[in-house]
Amino acid sequence: MSGSRAEQLIESGLWLRLSGDLTWSQKLFEEAFRLDPTLPVVKKLRQPSNGPGGIRSQEELWALLPISISAWPNPFQLPDGSVPAAGATENWNHNTVWRAPEATEPPLPDIDVEPVEFEEIEPFEPLVEPVARQAPKQKKPRIPTSQEELDHLLHAAEEFLQLEDPEAAMDLIEKAEKIARDHPQLRMLRDRGEEALQILYESRIGPLEAVPRVAIRADQIVALSLDHRAGFVLSQIDGGLSFEDLFSLSGMSRLDTTRILAQLLELNVISRA
Amino acid sequence: MPDRDVVIGIDLGTTNSVVATVQGDQPMVIRNRTGQNLTPSVVAISKNGKQLVGHLAKRQAITNPEGTVYATKRLIGRKFSSEQVAEALKVLSYPVVCGEHDDIRVRLGGRDISLPEISAKVLGELKLDAEEFFGHSVTKAVVTVPAYFNDGQRQATKDAGKIAGLDVLRILNEPTAAALAYGFGKNINGRIAIFDLGGGTFDISVLEISKGVFEVIATGGDSYLGGEDFDHRVLEWLVFGFAKEHGVDLRKDRMALQRLKDAAEKAKIELSETKSASINLPFICTPSGGGAALHLQRSLTREKLEELTADLCERTLSITTQVLEEAKVKPSDLKEVILVGGMTRMPRIAGEVKKFFRREPCKSVHPEEVVGLGAAVQAHALTSDQAPVLLLDVTPHSLGVAIAGGYARRLISKNTTVPTSCTEVFTTSKDQQTTVKIMVLQGESEVAHENELLGEFSLTNLRPALRGQVQVEVAFDINSEGIVSVSAKDKETGQEASIIITPSGGLTEDEMQTIMSEQDDLIAETGESEDTDAKKSELSDLVGQVEELFPRVKQVLADSEFGMDAVKRVEKTLGTARKALGAKRVATVNHSIEQLARTLQLFKSLQQRAGIEVE
């Protein structure tokens, strides 16, 4: 299962990378690596694009995105089901050739192709389309359509919710909302995401009837890096009001208030009495 | 053994309310459940749908303006179409709509709620505080109102008490309550002034105290002048200073505004004790272009506060001058001056009052609490045989009828003790007049339309004659409940017509019934109250005692004059009591307690008579 999820995350990450979101694509690649460190492609993708071994061009990225990754068998899987040694794939890119040992190479089922050497073959294509022995075509980078981008963001958000990482899911949902705010699936995802976030933050806060107190001196507060919303919530903490009371007077949604309170606790700006 | 007949005193203020009682002959304030003496008269439905009353409601008032109701005292008992309400609507932040009978409704949490219901929520909170203090339920209260409140406003306040589960035994004028708190009436007779600058209103009253009657001989003020105006001046000073420094208008941000309002009030209070107050509001706003949040840090001196609010202080004195002049009272006529309201703690105000009246004002009782304490003194007087002062009920305003030329003819003067009655003969004002219209008015104005019209009726079929020849006798009668009966009789024929005017607070009897039953349902829905739990424990003890004694007295009971029928009745009572242990309403539990207590008494007397040993 992890393998499949990791592949989905790689695909979503690729879409994000292509849309210019380096931070979040990186986060998805890291998550994919955490789930399945054996995937060679993920190692490559984890490398910074300006670093050694990193993927620099959009073309390289597009080359990795021909179809839904979840439908692929692992391109690095040996016909007997084993995976090549790490060293054999770590410098892989779409021009890399990997030769399977001839002795163990079985005919590929259901695909009308002659056994070929894998030179010059783009690694993700051959298993789904018959490969003519023609000179490889240079793939033109294409701009993703909004629908495609939306689908992938929804897919990734869903994945993060399943992975119990609602914070990551909500970030993607917000990105998706910029494309199609009223998408029904998006609304459902947001509801689920907010519910999961609420549970997450409340678990960080602890009992809601507990009374928080400011744990640092006034001069230390000024040195913090807070926004005015957090400043407002902090100003309401007087050692008499419970967390539950603070939800009522914050003027913000329960989720926003919980998030701020969880952050303030995490920063040790406030403590539970 | 707790005193079950305790009567609490309540100052239901425009901005803050106080509940008090008398303990060991000393009036004292009952602290609320958050440990404070004052409870803000604010009710809200927070953005997360929770009902808030008091401090919490006040603290979110600016961030949730549409869902926060405050200062309903300025509106209670008034007609929606009245000028005062039209004025109030200009400054209210919460939605107000017209009720079915030209009464006022507040739209809150998707419902249109009457003002007595809103006030009832504050009273209910104070009731709970008192119940926590006494450890048992409290159902009776004396509630104070401004001296200028008319019958409708007073009745609306009573209705609020009823909705909150309080039987309002007496409505007391606020200046009278202040005088009672100082013990005036037993040791001082004569004229005194009450200078009351509260959170939202300013009232100046002159009382004539004589033999238990506290007559309000002059009252006036400004319903829109109070501590909040002083806070606002400080707030503006902070806002403009910040705008000058950072180019940001903090008034556009509700969160910033709420913090500024709280900080301004805090600084103002602090400056009554100190010469300078620091105001630190870190992360007050985030600049619109982004970047780090800005801090507000300023120091406010007492001198600056006085400069910012000098005109407000002067306004109180000019109103005082005007009221005293109208009543033809000179400062030198007054025996005492009492300071009431938190704003009179401000040294500048106290100083100006002293200068104006040329005497040191009484301020030994906390000015925010003095009215509540006076209400407690009166409440105690109603239940104690050794009461120092028992006030008489008086009519708060004059009563009369409209007469020719658009004038008002006063038949019963204000401050007349009730019950009372009065008769006067009028004549027709036009030739061949066969009908007279009796318009019953309440108020002090000589001009009819400047008074409040309580009701009207006609006397018809008069003999056609020249003007002044037909005589009509008009009789006013006010009973001890404050119900006014007015009749008009043709002296020649004896033909009569009449009207009974029951004070109305804006709600009809049916509406009151509906609200009360909704309250009952709410109690049932919210489950068992602490009081119900305590009662159930009492009932459980009684069930145990009766069950223990029953087998021993059963035969004696069967052989007694009550016979087997009595045995059956005891069994039935026991069965009902066992069921009542699972009831939600305290009344159900109380009913069983009473029945079982009687049964137990019967058992004990049977035991004695039959010589059954008691373990």
Q: How far apart are CA A46 and CA A40, in angstroms?
A: 10
* Closest CA in chain B for residue A237: B59
Structure confidence by residue, pLDDT tens digits, B270-291 = 999 999 999 999 999 998 888 8
- Range of lowest pLDDT (A29-38, A117-126, A131-140): A117-126
Q: What integer pLDDT is reported at residue B400 of this predicted model?
A: 94
**In the predicted structure, residue B586 carries a pLDDT above the cut 80:** no
Q: How far apart are CA B393 and CA B414, in angstroms?
A: 11
**Confidence band of B529 (pLDDT split at 50, 70, 90):** low
Distance from CA of A231 to the nearest CA of B (A): 5
H or E element that contains B550: helix B530-559
Contact B255 A232 (CB under 8 A): yes
Q: How far apart are CA A195 and CA B384, in angstroms?
A: 58
Question: What average pLDDT does the segment B286-300 reach?
Answer: 90
| Cβ atoms of residues A52 and A93 within 8 Å | no
Closest CA to B599 of B567, B561, B558, B556: B567
| Cβ atoms of residues B317 and B323 within 8 Å | no
Q: How far apart are CA B420 and CA B491, in angstroms?
A: 22
Q: Give the mean pLDDT of chain B.
A: 88
A235 against A28, higher pLDDT: A235
**Confidence band of B226 (pLDDT split at 50, 70, 90):** very high
Q: What integer pLDDT is reported at residue B603 of this predicted model?
A: 80
Q: Give the mean pLDDT of chain A.
A: 72
Catalytic-labelled residue, pool B125, B129, B196, B231: B196
Buried b (16+ CB within 10 A) or exposed e, A59-75: ebbbbbbeeebeebeeb
Q: CB contact, 8 Å: A229 with chain B?
A: yes
| Cβ atoms of residues B447 and B463 within 8 Å | no
Q: How far apart are CA B143 and CA B135, in angstroms?
A: 21
C-alpha neighbours within 13 Å on the C-beta side of residue A97 = 8
For residue A250, what are its two tokens? 């914050």
C-alpha torsion B268→B269→B273→B277, nearest 10: -50
Q: How far apart are CA A27 and CA A24, in angstroms?
A: 5
Question: What average pLDDT does the segment A61-73 reach?
Answer: 50
Q: CB contact, 8 Å: B278 with chain A?
A: no
Q: CB contact, 8 Å: A172 with chain B?
A: no
Question: What average pLDDT does the segment A123-131 reach?
Answer: 40
For residue A45, what are its two tokens? 């993708």
Distance from CA of B232 to the nearest CA of A (A): 20
* B196 is known as an active-site residue: yes
Q: What integer pLDDT is reported at residue B385 of this predicted model?
A: 66
**Confidence band of A93 (pLDDT split at 50, 70, 90):** very low
Q: How far apart are CA A217 and CA B412, in angstroms?
A: 66
Closest CA to B125 of B199, B36, B39, B49: B39
Q: What integer pLDDT is reported at residue B374 of this predicted model?
A: 95
CATH class of B397-500: mainly beta
**In the predicted structure, residue B561 carries a pLDDT above the cut 70:** no
Of B56, B254, B283, the CB nearest to A230: B283
Chain A residues within an 8 Å CB radius of B254: 251
Q: Topology of B227-310 in CATH?
A: Actin; Chain A, domain 4 (3.90.640)
Closest CA to A7 of A166, A186, A152, A172: A152
Chain B residues within an 8 Å CB radius of A247: 46, 48
C-alpha torsion B213→B218→B223→B225, nearest 10: -110
Structure confidence by residue, pLDDT tens digits, B171-185 = 999 999 999 999 876
**Confidence band of B364 (pLDDT split at 50, 70, 90):** confident
**Confidence band of A100 (pLDDT split at 50, 70, 90):** very low
Of A221, A225, A249, the CB nearest to B59: A249
**CATH code matching the domain that covers B528-614, chosen among 1.10.40, 1.10.10, 2.40.50, 1.20.1270:** 1.20.1270
**In the predicted structure, residue B71 carries a pLDDT above the cut 70:** yes
Q: What integer pLDDT is reported at residue B571 of this predicted model?
A: 82
Q: What is the 3-state secondary structure (H, E, C) of A151-204?
A: HHHHHHHHHHHHCCCHHHHHHHHHHHHHHCCCCHHHHHHHHHHHHHHHHHHHHH
- 3-class DSSP assignment, residue B198: coil
Distance from CA of B57 to the nearest CA of A (A): 8
Question: What average pLDDT does the segment A115-134 reach?
Answer: 42
Chain A residues within an 8 Å CB radius of B259: 232, 235
Chain B residues within an 8 Å CB radius of A251: 47, 60, 63-64, 254-255, 258
Residues 6+ apart with CB under 8 A from B611: none
Judging by DSSP bridges, how do beta strands B7-12 and B140-145 pair with one another? parallel
Q: How far apart are CA B231 and CA B341, in angstroms?
A: 15
Q: What integer pLDDT is reported at residue A121 of this predicted model?
A: 38
**CATH code matching the domain that covers B3-226+314-392, chosen among 3.40.50.2300, 3.40.50.1010, 3.30.420.40, 1.10.3210.10:** 3.30.420.40
Q: How far apart are CA B384 and CA A41, in angstroms?
A: 90
| Cβ atoms of residues B105 and B99 within 8 Å | yes
Q: What integer pLDDT is reported at residue B587 of this predicted model?
A: 61
Q: CB contact, 8 Å: A243 with chain B?
A: no
Q: What integer pLDDT is reported at residue A70 of this predicted model?
A: 39
Q: How far apart are CA B313 and CA B540, in angstroms?
A: 61
Q: What integer pLDDT is reported at residue B549 of this predicted model?
A: 84
H or E element that contains B558: helix B530-559
Chain B residues within an 8 Å CB radius of A252: 47
Domain locations in chain B as residue ranges: 3-226+314-392, 227-310, 397-500, 528-614
Phi, psi angles (nearest 5°) of residue B484: -100, 125
Closest CA to B340 of B144, B124, B77: B144
For residue B473, what are its two tokens? 């006798």
**Confidence band of B391 (pLDDT split at 50, 70, 90):** low
Structure confidence by residue, pLDDT tens digits, A207-257 = 999 999 999 998 899 889 899 999 999 999 999 999 999 998 888 999 999
Q: CB contact, 8 Å: B256 with chain A?
A: yes
Q: CB contact, 8 Å: A256 with chain B?
A: no
Residues 6+ apart with CB under 8 A from A254: A198, A247, B48
Closest CA to B366 of B18, B101, B35: B18
**In the predicted structure, residue A2 carries a pLDDT above the cut 70:** no
Question: What average pLDDT does the segment B148-159 reach?
Answer: 89
* B11 is known as an active-site residue: yes
Q: What integer pLDDT is reported at residue B390 of this predicted model?
A: 56
Long-range contacts, A141-149 (Cβ 8 Å, 24+)? A141/A58, A141/A59, A141/A62, A142/A62, A144/A15, A144/A18, A144/A19, A146/A179, A146/A180, A148/A15, A149/A15, A149/A19, A149/A179
